[in-house]
Amino acid sequence: MHLFLRRLSLLGDALSHAVLPGIIAAVVLSGSTNAFYVVCGALVASLLSITAVRLLTNAGLSSEGALGVTFTTFFALGVLGLNIFGSQIDLDPSCILYGSLELAPLETFPLSAQFGAHFEVPRAAFSSLLTLVAVTIVIVSRRRRLMITSFDSEMLKLSGSSTLNRFDSGLFFAVAAAAVVNSFFAIGAVATTGILITPAVIARLFSNSMRGMWIITIISTTGIACCGYLLAVVFDTPVAGAVSGLAFLLALLAVFLSPHGGVLPRLIRGKLLILKIATDHVLANKLDDEKQLTNLNSRNPRSSNGFFMLTWLRISGLMAQDGTLTEPGLRRAQTLVRSHRVWESYLVNELKFAPDHVHEPSDRMEHFLTPDLTEKIADQASLSEKTTLGKKS
């Protein structure tokens, strides 16, 4: 999630490609495919690649350029290694890309012997658990700092203790790299990217606070992982595919429908806003005089579909069928007018506007003063309800 906040979302994908040479080197050097060596190699490679990105950025490349150059080059090096040493090792590179979780339960860890034969703890699960614990410890203990760093690393630098900052930053990256590498072996690189970022995206669309984001992220990550695995088993598809596909579909739903920031709700709200402005004009005019529509058209040539507005007013119960105002409609119109008057008086008394200048600005304010705000202004200005101009009486 912090990767997401720090605009480094593609780091996961980049890292996945970059670790290949590390893995190859580790396997070649150690002569076996022991997982420990592989993970070490992967970690070394990822740290090297992060340094390379930094170096390139300092040399003048843009940050995305540096990222792209690094991960493609590292991957090419890895492929080269594979070509050269291919006969010596028994590694299937595409396995890294989409993982082998299906096989994971078959690899048990010696520790399981202590729990008796019934508990054959899958190795993958064990290492995942370990990583999870480590990550949780780091994040919980450093969460405030992480929050600041994610938001504005400049501020953190300024607030002193630069060595501590670099430690934090390094720790964050190390932990992230560890978590990422760990999940590569379980579900592969691409799904890792999906799981890294998509739940965070979903969380952001539904909540505005750090804590809310955390909760949603955790829930959705576990949920997606479990459901994805189940789906994969049921439909006999690769786990990585199911998991990231599921995450993606959920994200799409969130993007389009989330009430907070989704595409459709914003569109709808925008349209409703236009409608509200137009209908407010109608209401206010209604209260004045009975020649509504002609006035309306002259004031708002753009929203010339008066019929549409009248229909909306009728639907929302503010206007009766025959065109007179209903009770709620009357109240709303009165609020509008009163807030207009109050604002006029405020402008005149407090801000010393010339009386003939206040009508236009008040006209605009009236839409958006809520009743209590109006009251507050009225109190503050200690007014009585007198009008200043002849137009609205």
22 binds another protein (CB under 8 A): no
Query: In the range 48-87, which residues lie near another protein by CB under 8 A?
Result: 59-62, 64-65, 67-69, 71-73, 75-77, 79-80, 83-84, 86
Please select the residue that binds another protein; options are 36, 115, 167, 248, rule is CB under 8 A: 248
Among 236, 290, 322, 385, binds another protein (CB under 8 A): 236
d(CA 44, CA 218): 28
- Of the pair 96, 123, the CB lying nearest another protein is at 96
x/- string (CB under 8 A) for another protein, residues 296-315? ---xxxxx------------
Q: How far is the CB of 176 from another protein (least distance, A)?
A: 14
**Comparison of 41 and 241: residue with beta carbon closer to another protein:** 241
Which of residues 194, 216, 309, 313 is near another protein by CB under 8 A? Answer: 194
19 near another protein, rule: CB under 8 A = no
Show the tokens assigned to 373. Answer: 């705000």
230 belongs to the binding site for another protein (CB under 8 A): no
Binding footprint of another protein, residue count (CB under 8 A): 105
Q: Could you write out the three-class secondary structure of the chain?
A: CHHHHCCCCCHHHHHHHHCHHHHHHHHHHHCCCCHHHHHHHHHHHHHHHHHHHHHHHHHCCCHHHHHHHHHHHHHHHHHHHHHHHCCCCCCCHHHHHHCCHHHHHHCECHHHHHHCCCCCCEHHHHHHHHHHHHHHHHHHHCHHHHHHHHHCHHHHHHCCCHHHHHHHHHHHHHHHHHHHHHHHHHHCHHHHHHHHHHHHHHHHHHCCCHHHHHHHHHHHHHHHHHHHHHHHHHHCCCHHHHHHHHHHHHHHHHHHHCCCCCHHHHHHHHHHHHHHHHHHHHHHHHHHCCCHHHHHHHHCCCCCCHHHHHHHHHHCCCECCCCCECHHHHHHHHHHHHHHHHHHHHHHHCCCCCHHHCHHHHHHHCCCCCHHHHHHHHHHHCCCCCCCCCCCC
C-beta of 328: minimal distance to another protein in Å?
6
Q: Which is nearer to another protein, 129 or 263 (CB)?
A: 263
Beta carbon nearer to another protein, 109 or 353: 353
Using rule CB under 8 A, residue 291 touches another protein: no
Q: Is 295 in the site for another protein (CB under 8 A)?
A: no
Verify binding: residue 293, another protein, rule CB under 8 A: no
Residues pairing with 122 in the sheet = 108
Least Å from the CB of residue 285 to another protein: 13
User: Hey, what amino acid is at 146?
Assistant: L
Print the binding letters for residues 328-357 with another protein: x by CB under 8 A, - otherwise.
Answer: x--xx--x-----------x--xxxx---x
Of the candidate residues 47, 338, 361, 383, the single one contacting another protein (CB under 8 A) = 361
Q: How far is CA 200 from CA 176, 181, 195, 312, 349, in A?
A: 15, 19, 9, 39, 51
Q: How far apart are the C-alpha atoms of 286 and 291, rounded to whole Å?
A: 8
114 binds another protein, rule: CB under 8 A: no
CA triple 114-188-210, angle to 5 deg: 90
Tell the smallest beta-carbon distance from residue 393 to another protein (Å): 21
Taking residues 123 to 162 in sequence order and writing x for each that binds another protein by CB under 8 A, - otherwise, the string is ----------------------------------------
Cβ 149 to another protein shortest distance, Å:
15
Q: Which is nearer to another protein, 138 or 318 (CB)?
A: 318
Task: Using CB under 8 A, pick the residue from 12, 22, 41, 122 that binds another protein.
Answer: 12
Q: Which region, judged by CB under 8 A, interacts with another protein, from 43-51, 112-120, 123-131, 241-249?
A: 241-249
Residue number with CB closer to another protein (31 or 371): 371
Q: Which two tokens stand for residue 282?
A: 């109608």
Nearer to another protein, 168 or 363 (CB): 363
